């Protein structure tokens, strides 16, 4: 049996690659990983994103314990949007329109890696 779409996505993250799918009928980018294309039911193919994107929306979360952090919607250049966070700058400094670049965050232990972003000009 083939691996689930989530397992495949996580395998790419383990390799440091941000992967997404494309609708085999329309060519539209699809994210979050799925078994079939959401509007057409067509087969999906895997692709590697450039990792470059733009902050579409952002907010700062202030937990009771711990430091504040941001939650952001990132529009990737390939045409899909994902929720993540922007690191390496204060959460209040994240702005709509900020260009960002992907990197995998590896929390350690049994936790799988996740996609996070940092300002694109901070490290090309």
Q: Which range marks the domain in which residue 101 is found? A: 5-122
In angstroms, rounded to a whole number, what is the distance separating the alpha carbons of residues 94 and 90? 7
Q: How confident is the model at residue 3 (pLDDT cuts 50, 70, 90)?
A: confident
For residue 111, what is the domain's CATH number? 2.40.50.840
| Overall number of domains in the chain | 1
Residue 1 pLDDT level (bands cut at 50, 70, 90): low
- pTM (predicted TM-score): 0.88
Q: What does the pLDDT look like over 47-84, one tens digit per residue?
A: 999 999 999 999 999 999 999 999 999 999 999 999 99
Question: In terms of C-beta density within 10 A (0-12 exposed, 13-18 middle, 19 or more buried), how is residue 100 classed?
Answer: buried
């Amino acid at each position: 049996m083939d691996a689930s779409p989530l397992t495949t996505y996580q395998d790419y993250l383990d390799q440091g690659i941000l992967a997404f799918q494309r609708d085999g009928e329309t060519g539209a980018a699809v994210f979050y990983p799925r078994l079939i294309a959401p509007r057409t039911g067509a087969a999906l193919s895997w692709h590697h994103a450039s990792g470059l994107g733009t902050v579409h929306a952002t907010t700062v979360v202030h937990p009771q314990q711990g430091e504040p952090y941001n939650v952001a919607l990132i529009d990737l250049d390939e045409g899909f949007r994902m929720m993540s966070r922007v690191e390496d700058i204060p959460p209040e400094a994240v702005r709509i329109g900020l260009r960002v670049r992907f990197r995998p965050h590896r929390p350690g232990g049994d936790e799988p890696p996740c996609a996070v972003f940092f300002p694109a000009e901070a490290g090309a």
